[in-house]
Chains A and B, each alone.
Chain A
Amino acid sequence: DEEFNELCFEFGLELDEVTSEKDIISKEKGEEKAKGASDTVLYKIDVPANRYDLLCLEGLVRGLQVFKERINLPRYEKIIPAQGEGQRLIITEETVQVRPHAVAAVLRNITFTKERYDSFIDLQEKLHQNICRRRALVAIGTHDLDTISGPFTFTAKAPSEIKFKPLNQSQEYTASQIMDLYRTDSHLRHYLHLIENKPLYPLIYDSNGVVLSMPPIINGDHSKISINTRNVFIECTGTDITKAKIVLDIIVTMFSEYCEKPFSVEAAEVVYPNGKTHIYPELTYRKEKVKPELINKKIGISETPSSLAKLLTRMCLKSHVTGNGNNIEIEIPPTRADIIHACDIVEDAAIAYGYNNIQMTIPKTYTIANQLPLNKLTELLRLDLAAAGFTEALTFALCSQEDIADKLGMDICATKAVRIANPKTAEFQVARTTLLPGLLKTIAANRKMPLPLKLFEISDIVVKDPDTDVGARNYRHFCAVYYNKSPGFEIIHGLLDRVMQLLEVPPNEENGYTIKATEG
């Protein structure tokens, strides 16, 4: 376990928890229910959000093995079937209104076992949650190719015209009935809103009219895959074509391992409404050239070009030295869609080298330290106020509407408060325009403390201001409260005089300060 933890740390993964199914059920439902559950050790691993290729066991293991140099990165191959023999997905123009893009591919002669099947379904769910943004951007559908026959049509129809037997149901339903059926389903009800109010719902069916799926909600029962499935037809539909392509690439690269010809994917043709066709999956291998000095300089190490090439190859970025040793050519596989810039390549080189092997240095930059004048003044005032016997409070900047208006006897419109659109509770509806509510709440919470309570706060408040580039600004306010059995106006007056004395503001009408009564 220790060793695996170390490996994860080096690679950039976090080993969150070492547990087992038994433990999980014990914690959630009690020991009784856990009896008979599996004792096999489970690792909970946190994967960075941009590494889609590590979301399933196959990808994770593959990545780690290449990292440890136990295997070479497999080469993913696209097989284009002879003219007329491949699968075709025809997109009609109705889809433009609701879900315009679609890509497809075939995994031929694949062998599933229970674990592989579970992993396959699991990967789809993880991708849905992650890059597909909960099916809003892309939805994945996988089907048993032997139960259906192409060419397939991806179109959009009115809900009343759609009728099929959804996955794991025993009868046919119309689209509207399906919406109602899954309204209470804990898993699927979150996706209903994606198409519910549209005039047309997306639909995929085969040449015989058998419905494959109604993305992004549910697949048809007819084409569902099982452990015995040998040929899989994968389709991804969505509103973002780039992500759809990435998702397809990930699924096929991960699971083509189990095909009869490992790591080979059968391409499918997608026909667009305007007649153009495109072959998917793309499985592009992109080439980038990076200078070894750049990598060395950015990290702060000095490795030879060939050792850098070796480091990158360990991170699934196959590289070799070119030119006369002063350039490295890197091949970026389709599984690494997260490599967008040379700096991503630099990071991978650093990870392979080992972050903790890099020597720590201090930059030779000479700069002069400086405190912001506003903050410097605030700090000085805070010290003097404490010396005057007041205690500093730090309160929330967000409060309820009543706090800054009604409770102070003012009208909310006059406050020019900044209002929050999505507060979780009523306590965070607006940003404070005065420090007073915060201090008063602090006193209310500390009524049991010995009196008198003398509190102050110097902090920012927020008001709307049409002259700023965002429409609001902060002001630094100073507020002090005196709480005792007898009112102490003279105490607060004295404090104010002291502060003005420190700030060198004279107590007169023209160029100094005076005290006036306010509203509320």
Chain B
Amino acid sequence: FTEMPTDNFVESSFWNFDALFQPQQHPARDQHDTFFLQDPAEAPELPAGYTAKVKKVHSQGGYGSQGYKYEWRLEEARRNLLRTHTTSASARALYRLARQEKFSPVKYFSIDRVFRNESLDATHLAEFHQVEGVVADRGLTLGHLMGILRQFFTKLGTGGTLGGRGTPQGPPLTPLLSPGITQLRFKPAYNPYTEPSMEVFSYHKGLKKWVEVGNSGIFRP
């Protein structure tokens, strides 16, 4: 996997939401969940041709989709924010890939900071890190996605052995430290930009239940 550049905390709504088919009326774009910027408030530059395509797919549909059929506004897409997920960097990377002369299959990853406008408590911070991976190739299937995820979580587990075993009251992060996360189940989920989507669950021996360890999906065409 090749690392993607993610060195921009400030992102425009366009890359963070619109290019990812998240409708402008979606609750995640609310004041309550996203940090919008006062200064600089708007992104001065958006890719012209691509913006027109995004507008069309949201409002009328395209590429085989019915679209959302609402009025898509450019001002809304220009609004700057602190990115809520590193998927915006993935979107940029895929855009660059699409503009290449010749398509080459890629595997990208990134681990970086994201920001969500939440009240702080024992399990929630306003800033946290996300691990993200993207694979682009011809003929990929849901089975492939599940296979990669299984390999990823297995390797994640065998790394550290810092006392994850047998503590019944550990915080939900301890599965990552216990030797090998091999018990995985996949559950259908919903993301605005992936379809099919899956939530990945792993069995936490300490808490004796299945906890969600990740989210994934195949990007919508």
Contacts from A to B (Cβ < 8 Å): 9-12, 14, 48-51, 133, 137, 240, 242-243, 297-301, 340-344, 346-347, 350-351, 355-356, 358-363, 365-372, 374-375, 396-398, 418-424, 428, 431, 460, 462, 464, 466, 468-474, 476
Bits for B21-34, please: 1 = Cβ < 8 Å to A, else 0.
Answer: 00001010001000
Determine if B119 and A424 form an interchain contact, defined as CB atoms under 8 angstroms apart.
Answer: yes
The chain A residue with its CB closest to the CB of B219 is: A343
- Complex contact B107–A362 (CB within 8 A): no
Chain B residues with CB below 8 A from A344, complex form: 195
Q: Say yes or no: B65 contacts A340, CB within 8 Å.
A: yes
With contacts A242-B70, A374-B7, A398-B115 taken as known, whether A418 is within 8 angstroms of B220 at the C-beta atoms is no
Q: Which residues of A contact B218 (CB under 8 A)?
A: 298, 343
Chain A residues within 8 Å of B45, by CB: 469-470
Distance in Å: Cβ of B34 to nearest Cβ of chain A: 8
* Contact across chains for B40 and A464 when beta carbons are under 8 A apart: yes
Residue in B2, B119, B187 whose CB lies within 8 Å of A367: B2
Which residues of chain B are within 8 angstroms of A297 by Cβ–Cβ distance?
A: 139, 141
- Count contacts between A and B, CB distance < 8 Å: 208
> Contacts A431-B82, A472-B10 known; A346 to B185 CB distance under 8 Å?
no
The one of A49, A300, A351 that contacts B141, using a Cβ cutoff of 8 Å: A300
Residue of B nearest to A131 (CB): B25
Q: How far is the CB of A364 from chain B (nearest CB, A)?
A: 8
Q: In whole angstroms, how far apart are the Cα atoms of A317 and B3 in the complex?
A: 41
Q: How far is the CA of A462 from the CA of B112 in the complex (A)?
A: 14
Residue contact A341 to B221, C-beta cutoff 8 Å: yes
Closest to B187 in A: A9
| 13 residue pairs from A and B, CB less than 8 Å apart | A14-B187, A240-B25, A343-B195, A356-B186, A361-B143, A369-B107, A421-B35, A421-B41, A460-B113, A469-B46, A470-B12, A472-B40, A474-B7
- Interface check B39, CB cutoff 8 A: yes
**B126 part of interface (Cβ distance < 8 Å):** yes
Q: Provide the residues of chain B in CB contact with A359, threshold 8 Å.
A: 143
Q: How far is the CA of A473 from the CA of B82 in the complex (A)?
A: 11
Pair A367/B107 contact, Cβ less than 8 Å: yes
User: CA separation between A14 and B198, bound complex, in Å?
Assistant: 12
User: B residues within 8 A CB of A470?
Assistant: 8, 10-12, 40, 43-45, 80
CA distance A350 to B221 in the complex (A): 17
Chain B CB within 10 Å, residue with most, of A243, A424, A469, A470: A470
- The reply to whether B9 and A431 contact each other, CB–CB distance below 8 Å, is yes
Write out the residue numbers on chain A whose beta carbons fall within 8 Å of the beta carbon of B107.
Answer: 365, 367, 369
**Chain A residues with Cβ under 8 A from B7's Cβ?**
374, 460, 473-474, 476
- Does chain A have a CB within 8 A of B197? yes
* CA of A24 to CA of B113, assembled, Å: 37
Closest B residue by C-beta to A466: B44
Cβ 8 A contact of B220, one of A51, A341, A369, A374: A341
Cβ 8 A contact of A298, one of B5, B31, B141: B141
Pair B150/A360 contact, Cβ less than 8 Å: yes
Which residues of B sit under 8 angstroms from A464, Cβ to Cβ? 39-40
Residues of A within 8 A of B113 (CB): 397, 460
Is B54 in contact with chain A by the CB < 8 A criterion? no
Partner of B36, one of A341, A422, A460: A422
Q: How many chain B residues have a CB neighbour from A under 8 Å? A: 73
Chain B contacts to A: CB under 8 angstroms = 1-5, 7-12, 25, 27, 31, 35-46, 61, 63-70, 80, 82, 105-107, 113, 115, 117-119, 126-127, 135, 137, 139-144, 146-148, 150-151, 185-190, 195-198, 218, 220-221
Q: Are A462 and B196 in contact (CB under 8 A)?
A: no
Q: How far is the CB of A423 from chain B (nearest CB, A)?
A: 7
Contact of A372 with B220 in the complex, beta carbons under 8 Å: no
Measured CB to CB, the nearest residue on chain A to B210 is A9
New A-B pairs, 19, CB < 8 Å, besides A361-B141, A371-B3 = A300-B143, A341-B65, A341-B221, A343-B195, A350-B188, A351-B196, A355-B186, A358-B142, A372-B4, A397-B127, A420-B38, A424-B117, A431-B10, A462-B9, A469-B44, A470-B12, A470-B43, A471-B40, A476-B7
Q: A11 contacts B188, CB within 8 Å?
A: yes
- CB contacts (< 8 Å) of A367 on chain B: these are 1-2, 105-107
B188 pairs with A347, CB closer than 8 A: yes
**Complex: chain A residue closest to B138, CB-CB:** A365
Which residue in chain A gives the minimum CB-CB distance to B107?
Answer: A367
Please give, as numbers and ranges, the residues of chain B lying within 8 Å of A462 by CB-CB distance: 9-10
Q: Which of the listed residues B1, B43, B143 has the most CB atoms from chain A within 10 Å of its own CB?
A: B143
Q: Closest chain B residue to A363 by CB distance?
A: B144
Q: Which residues of A contact B2 (CB under 8 A)?
A: 367-370
Q: In the bound complex, do residue A343 and residue B220 qualify as a contact, i.e. CB atoms below 8 Å apart?
A: yes
Q: Using Cβ atoms and an 8 Å threshold, which residues of chain B touch A396?
A: 126-127
Contacts of B70 in A (CB 8 A): 240, 242-243
Interface core residue of B10, B38, B147, B190 (most chain A CB under 10 Å): B10
The CA of A48 and the CA of B115, in the complex, are separated in Å by 23
Which residues of chain B are near A374, meaning CB under 8 Å? 5, 7
Cβ–Cβ contact B144 & A340, under 8 A? no
Chain B residues with Cβ under 8 A from A49's Cβ? 190
Nearest 6 pairs between A and B by C-beta?
A: A300-B143, A300-B141, A12-B188, A471-B40, A347-B196, A48-B190
Contact call A346/B196, Cβ cutoff below 8 A: yes
Interface contact B10-A361, CB-CB below 8 Å = no
Contact of A370 among B3, B66, B105, B126 (CB under 8 A): B3
Complex Cα–Cα for A300 and B195 (A): 15
Contact partners of B61 in chain A: CB under 8 A: 340
**Nearest CB of chain A from residue B50's CB, rounded to whole Å:** 12
Q: A362-B148, A367-B1, A369-B2 are in contact. Are A298 and B142 (CB under 8 A)?
A: yes
